[in-house]
């Protein structure tokens, strides 16, 4: 089963400095049918104006993954962590027992991110933060694991949950397959380009809610970049 969720039908709000689209209920957008997808709780498509951002605010008990599509985001938190994550790279904050953080666009161009929240399966641990570059050339034509709660995924950023975040960059007419498993749930969004997901067409920034599919095959109809969350 694959349910297409068109970008034009997503919830959201334009705050001037922040133009946010929400794949799931968030802030003032509430849809009882779109509260979560398995352990995946939030997928926000954010455009952040230059010189603006999210001021310090608290989180706890949530795995927060930021996938930078354009520009860069600068992170600072109450643990003393600070870093700049550029387009194509990923940062993970495990909120754990509690952390305050800010996310700022210190660039002179608009920064575009996917902000993904996944419910943790491990709680009561100290908060942590990390970031890692994932060169697009290294995921050309195949899925690469960006963040994972599985010990065997040694090259991925660690998260404290039964989930993976994977990404692929595809040229037009290329395909890549991810072995999801029929008992798992997946949620896929093309950051750019048009694709078919097991035969279902998606435009850029559409969502695909996936269940009861043993494998997910993505065929690029144009040059494309896709992100997939595999969650219980």
CB 6 within 8 A of CB 201: no
Kindly report the pTM of this predicted structure. 0.97
pLDDT digits (tens, 9 = 90+) for 149-184: 999 999 999 999 999 999 999 999 999 999 999 999
Give the C-alpha separation, 66 to 54, whole Å: 13
Give the separation between CA 165 and CA 162, rounded to whole angstroms: 11
> How far is 211 from 97, CA to CA, in rounded Å?
31
pLDDT of residue 139: 85
What is the CA 128 to chain-centroid distance, rounded?
Answer: 18
For residue 163, the Cα-to-chain-centroid distance in whole angstroms is 12
Tens digits of residue pLDDT in 9-46: 999 999 999 999 999 999 999 999 999 999 999 999 99
The domain ranges of the chain are 2-231
Cβ atoms 190, 196 nearer than 8 A: no
Alpha-carbon gap, residue 158 to 232, rounded angstroms: 16
Q: How far apart are CA 34 and CA 36, in angstroms?
A: 6
Determine the average pLDDT of the residues in 96-119: 98
* pLDDT of the residue at 160: 98
The yes or no reply on domain 2-231 and CATH 2.40.37.10 is: no
- The predicted pLDDT at position 184 comes to 98
pLDDT tens-digit readout, 182-211: 999 999 999 999 999 999 999 999 999 999
Mean pLDDT confidence for 71-80: 98
- In angstroms, the CA 149 to CA 200 distance is 28
Dump pLDDT digits (tens) for 6-17: 999 999 999 999
């Amino acid at each position: 089963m694959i349910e297409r969720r068109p970008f034009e039908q997503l919830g959201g709000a334009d705050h001037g400095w922040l133009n946010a689209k929400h794949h799931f209920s968030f802030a003032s957008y509430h849809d009882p049918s779109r509260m979560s997808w398995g352990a995946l709780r939030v997928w926000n498509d954010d455009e952040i104006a230059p010189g603006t951002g999210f001021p310090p605010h608290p989180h706890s008990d949530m795995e927060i993954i930021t996938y930078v599509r354009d520009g860069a985001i600068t992170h600072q938190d109450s643990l003393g962590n600070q870093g700049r994550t550029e387009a194509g790279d990923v940062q993970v904050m495990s909120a754990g027992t509690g952390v305050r953080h800010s996310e700022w666009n210190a660039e002179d161009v608009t920064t575009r991110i996917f902000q993904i929240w996944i419910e943790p399966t491990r709680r009561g641990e100290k908060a942590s933060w990390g970031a890692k570059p994932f060169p697009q050339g290294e995921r050309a034509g195949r899925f690469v694991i960006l963040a994972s709660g599985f010990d065997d995924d040694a090259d991925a950023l660690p998260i404290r949950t039964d989930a993976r975040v994977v990404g692929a960059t595809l040229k037009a007419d290329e395909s890549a397959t991810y072995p999801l498993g029929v008992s798992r749930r997946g949620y896929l969004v093309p950051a750019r380009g048009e694709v078919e997901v097991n035969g279902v067409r998606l435009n850029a920034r559409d969502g695909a809610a996936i269940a009861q599919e043993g494998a997910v095959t993505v065929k690029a109809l144009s040059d494309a970049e896709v992100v997939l969350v595999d969650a219980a």
